[in-house]
Chain A
Amino acid sequence: MRLTDLPRTTSFRLSLLFLALFGVASTVFFAFLYWQATSYLNSSVEHWIQRDSVVYLGSPGEIVQRLLTHDERDPDSWRPFGLFDASGRFIAGNLRALPERPVRFGRYFEYTLQRNGREVPFRGAGYRLANDDILILSYNVNEISGFKRLLVDAMAWGGIMVFAVGIAGAIITGLGAVRQINGITSAVERIVTGNLSERLPTRRGAGDLDRLVSLVNGMLDDIERLMCEVKGVTDDIAHDLRTPLTRLLGGLERARRRGASREEYAKAVDAAIAETKAVLGTFSALLRIAEVEDGARRAGFTRVDLGQIAADVVEFHAPVAEERGVSLSFDTDSPSLTQMSGDPSLLFEAISNLVDNAIKFSPAGGCVAVRSFYHQGRIGVAVTDNGPGIPASERDAVLRRFHRLEKSRHTPGSGLGLSLVAAVAKLHGLTLTIDSSYPGSCVTLERDQPQLGIGGPAVLAPAAASAVTASPAIATAASASATAASATASRVGPEAHRVA
């Protein structure tokens, strides 16, 4: 934006508009003032003329005598009075000739006379006497005109100054706007050319433009984060897909080069099929995450029991845990209180991923505990293990697609499990928290339970109590959970306490 664009800026135009409005308003104000002042001054002069006219007209016989006396008293003729006959010839007084303007009797008029080489203004009135003579009474109004001139001059100068200041102000604000727009424009140009970390300049004010700028900057933050994620994901995809594809290609080429027997070919084909399946699996996992994040799966929501699904997951994984020598347990303090609306398969898959991970990373002899809970208006599922845990610095990163902790690189898996869990959690309004301290970690999926939220604990307490007394199995589970929870509390701290 160049300086010639100044008149096009909104602030400049606004300043000019206000300047014009102010100009009109002050002109009207001045005109009123002028009119009031001059009519007041004129009326005082007219008052004097009125009084003189009463004296002169009251005794017509003494007019000439009075005029002679007046002439003597007023040698500078500041108050030119004159008596003329009907044809306008001078008779007496210190006004020697009729004013050039035609005299209108009974009305005040102004005229000028030469005094010391200057035009001097006078205000007067003419009277026709009974004998048709004309009497003119007038006063010098030089001071009044001087005052008027002063008033007009003051107004003119004031106007000029206001105009100058106004124009300067308009230019300054306009320039400020131009400068900010220039800053924004060049920042945008830099962003467009690829520098996504660039932000629009802001003047840390609360102006409308600043609000817009901070809004756009917030949007840019989001875009930058998303771009980073996309870039990260692309890199990861490139890595995680290129590796099996390279192996696939290598295997096929080797088979063609030296595949001698039918068996060797069959082996190569089997290997190729396995690699292709792995690649397809990774792809479909990615697509599923995208689909879940898209929210399209909400169409398949039904009424589900989170605790029941968690129990199914535990039952499903039990033989694997047994095989690996990991103890896998499930308990709940709130049977059938964990109802919510959701997609059962997705929830099963998400919890299954968590349990699968926990079993995979638990040492032999370790234990994985799954609990479903209803506590203070929140329902959820917590998966606790005593595996290696997740370092605090990595907790956000593990939710990223393809992210795998360095030490788990050798374990099979796509690294997509937790990002699917995060996506499913988000779809269901569940909060995913990862608590971890060496050894062990506790992953919790939880959310508010709206329909039971009001007076929840009061309603819950007798229900839970009756459930405990009704079923000895649950009673044992509950007491086991209490000891497990206290054990967890001592290990994980306040978080586990909150979950319990």
Chain B
Amino acid sequence: MTRVLVVEDDAQTAAEIAAALGDHGFEVECAHTGQDALDRAVADRYSAIVLDRMLPGGIDGLTVLSTLRGMQVDAPVLILSALSAVDERVRGLRAGGDDYLTKPFESLELTARIEVLLRRRSVPDRETMLRVGDLEVDLLKREVRRGDHTIDLLPREYKLLEYLMRHPGQVITRTMLFEEVWSYRYDQRTNVIDVHMGKLRRKLDEGGLPSMIHTVRGSGYILRAPD
């Protein structure tokens, strides 16, 4: 069972986060102060830590993070913050954070990002061929095949597919796609990514094949082998 430590001083918010992660199938523990978080994280092994940037009692989120990293606790850490400025994000990541999420956020965004963080640790990055069902991506030749049928993709479509193929069966939100594939960071609120995904989906499903990219209610996508 995947255990996640949620460090958040506001009890109500902590409970909401815990509920969202619990519904996703994680086992959740909460800490409300920096000291509490340090004690728990050092004593116990967690698969991931959700860490609020602002904490009461002298030890703030970044201090907790750098202390944990100093003590060789290497669980992936997702920083939560009400501060959205770029340099805040940079400071958070530099202190050892793996991802940064600005409040308010959707529970889907949080669980999807934690899922990716967990999987990033377990899947080696050295593969040359990605396979989901009858869909294959040759990373060396940058070639996409479904069954014995080669699919022509635009460079951006290829990058979208590659990202989805690296996380099969996981929810990937639009924001994650935008950050990963276009490398710009802001809250994209248009439906442009949906249109890109629509085009990609049509190319993959050409010839009446069963769909592999599914829309997740809310704001995400999931790539699955057809049953």
State the A residues within 8 Å of B (CB). 277, 280-281, 284, 287-288, 291, 296-297, 299-300, 312, 315-317, 319-320, 323, 343-346, 348-349, 352, 356
Contact = CB atoms under 8 A, between A and B. Distances in A.
A349 B86 CA distance: 14
B184 A344 contact: yes
A281 B186 contact: no
Interface string B49-89: 00000000000000000000000000000000000111100
Q: On chain B, which size bracket covers the interface?
A: 20 to 34
A297 B83 CA distance: 12
Contacts of B85: 291, 296-297, 299-300
Given A296-B85, A299-B87, A300-B87, A319 B192 contact: yes
B104 A280 contact: yes
Contacts of A277: 106
Given A297-B85, A345-B184, A319 B199 contact: yes
A299 B85 CA distance: 9
B191 to A, nearest CB: 8
Given A297-B86, A299-B86, A343-B86, A312 B182 contact: yes
A291 B182 CA distance: 23
B126 interface: no
Contact of A316 (B87, B189, B192): B192
5 contacts: A287-B84, A291-B85, A316-B182, A346-B186, A349-B186
Contact of B184 (A291, A299, A349): A349
A276 to B, nearest CB: 9
Given A287-B84, A315-B156, A319-B199, A345 B192 contact: no
Given A297-B85, A345-B184, 12 more contacts: A277-B106, A288-B84, A291-B84, A296-B85, A296-B87, A300-B85, A320-B195, A323-B195, A345-B185, A348-B184, A349-B184, A352-B190
A346 B185 CA distance: 8
A294 to B, nearest CB: 9
Contacts of A299: 85-87
A316 B191 CA distance: 11
Nearest to B196: A319
B11 interface: no
A300 B86 contact: yes
B187 A284 contact: yes
B97 to A, nearest CB: 16
A312 B183 CA distance: 10
A348 B178 CA distance: 12
B139 interface: no
Interface string B134-173: 0000000000000000000000100000000000000000
